[in-house]
Amino acid sequence: MNSKENFEKFKSSLPKNSYAIIIKDNENGMSEFMAYDTTTENKVTNGYVILRGFIELMETQLDSVIVHGQAAIFRELEVTKPEIEGKPKQKGNVTIVDFKK
């Protein structure tokens, strides 16, 4: 089954008069995406322009999209510093830190 056939099952469940992007991870560790336009008018609307912009970014600047996605995820993570016993000690050009257990 090719990618287009794989996405056909989503077509009937999409809301009418809208734009949608479906992203699906496949078993090869890659992602596939399909864009849908379920509007009935043949007009250039704000939604259509945004949809085309997303498609253009995915096709031409995928690395940048991935970096921005990783940055967004990192911002949401709660990062805590580990507690240490005593003060770090210097031994030449090496710093020794005793982390609490």
Strand, coil or helix: 59: helix
Number of structural domains the chain divides into: 1
* pLDDT tens digits, 53-95: 999 999 999 999 999 999 999 889 887 777 767 777 888 888 8
Q: Which domain holds residue 36?
A: 3-99
* pLDDT tens digits, 20-54: 998 888 888 888 888 889 898 889 999 999 999 99
**6 — pLDDT class (breaks 50, 70, 90):** low
Q: How far is it, in rounded angstroms, from Cα 39 to Cα 2?
A: 25
Give ∠ CA 23-27-33 in degrees, rounded to 5.
20
User: According to the model, what pLDDT value does residue 91 have?
Assistant: 84
User: According to the model, what pLDDT value does residue 13 have?
Assistant: 85
Residues in a beta bridge with 11? none
- Counting Cβ atoms within 10 Å, is residue 33 exposed (0-12), middle (13-18) or buried (19+)? middle
